[in-house]
Amino acid sequence: MNYRHIYHAGNFADVLKHAVLARLVEYLKQKDKAFRVLDTHAGIGLYDLSSEEAQKTGEWLDGIGRLIDEPLPANVASLLAPYLDAIKALNPDGGLTYYPGSPKLARGLLRLQDRLSLMELHPADFEELHRNFDGDFQTRATHLDGWLAMNAHLPPKEKRGLILVDPPFELEGEYRRMVDNFAKAYRKFPTGVYCLWYPLKNGAPIREFHNAFAELEIPKILCAELSVKGDRDSTGLSGSGLIIVNPPYTLKGELEILLPFLEEKLAQDRFANTRCFWIRGEEQA
C-alpha cells in the first residue's frame, strides 16, 4: 500500500468528488429519518495543506486553491455552499490550511440522528483517522478492507444510506473490482445511494467500465466526469469520474450547472471537458 492521500488532498479530483458528496448528504437530509454514510476507503479524514507532503506536490493549488476565494455565480454558490462552508469552517482565520477529506466533510454535514462508518486499511492512516474522530459517538472508524466492509456492513440498520467508494486505483483490475463489489453490495442494499470514484487517464478502460455498469441492469445509474486536460501526452491523472447509483432526482440538473463551472475554473489546457449522462436511467425509461 503505497498510496497516501495527503499528497493529493484538495486536488481537482477531490473537488468534484467532495462537491458531489456534499450534495448527496444534503439531499438525504431532506427527510427526518436517520441515515448512515459508509466511506469504504476513508483516508485520514482531515488534511494539513501546509504539511511537507501536501506542499511537495502542491496539487491542491490547481484544485480547491482555484475556487476557495473566487466570486461565484449565485446558482453555483448555492450548490457549492455545503462543501465550501465546510472548508471555511476548518479555517476560521481565513486562508486554506486545513482541507476536509470525505470523512470530515460528511461528518460536518450530519445531523444528530445520522451515523458515519469509516474503513481504512493503511495502518498509519487508520491510526490518524481514528485519532481524528476520537470521542465522536456518531462516527466509527474501523481498520478493515473497504471491499469487505461494503458487503459486511450493508444494509445499514437505518435502512437509509450513502456509500462512498474511493479506492486508490493502485492495483491492476481495480475498475473491474469496483463493478463486481458494487454489484454484490447493491444486491444487499438496493435502495442505497452509491457514489463510486474512478480515475481518467491515458489507456484507462472507461468504455468497458461504463458498459459493465450498464449490463448490471440497475435502473438508475448516473455518470459525471471532469477532465482538466488532455490525456495523450501524460501518464498521470487527466480527470476523474463518479458513478452515482440511485441519485437524487435533482442531481443531474445540479451537475449540469456545476460541471461547466468546474471545467472553466479547473482547466489545465484546451482539452478540458465534462460529461454527465445516464448509464441506465431516465433516458432509457
Binding site for ligand SAM (CB under 6 A): 1, 3, 5, 17, 39, 41-43, 101-102, 119-122, 125, 145-147, 166-168
- Check 39, 62, 125, 166 and give the catalytic one: 166
Give one DSSP letter per residue of the chain, joined into a string: ----GGGTTTSHHHHHHHHHHHHHHHHHTTSSS--EEEESS-TTSEEETTSHHHHHH-GGGGTGGGTTT----HHHHHHHHHHHHHHHHH-TTSS--EEE-HHHHHHHH--TT-EEEEE--SHHHHHHHHHHTTT-TTEEEE-S-HHHHHHHT-S-TTS-EEEEE-----STTHHHHHHHHHHHHHHH-TTSEEEEEEEEETT--HHHHHHHHHHTT-S-EEEEEEESS-STT-SSEEEEEEEEES--TTHHHHHHHHHHHHHHHH-SSTT-EEEEEEEESGGG-
Q: Which is nearer to ligand SAM, 3 or 277 (CB)?
A: 3
Q: Which residues are annotated as a binding site?
A: 18, 41, 102, 120, 145-146, 166
Q: Which is nearer to ligand SAM, 122 or 265 (CB)?
A: 122
Provide, rounded to whole angstroms, the least separation between the CB of residue 145 and ligand SAM.
Answer: 4
Q: Which is nearer to ligand SAM, 105 or 281 (CB)?
A: 105
Catalytic: 166? yes
Provide, rounded to whole angstroms, the least separation between the CB of residue 149 and ligand SAM.
Answer: 7
Provide, rounded to whole angstroms, the least separation between the CB of residue 193 and ligand SAM.
Answer: 16
Q: Which residue is nearest to ligand SAM (CB)?
A: 101
Q: Which is nearer to ligand SAM, 82 or 101 (CB)?
A: 101
Active site residues: 166
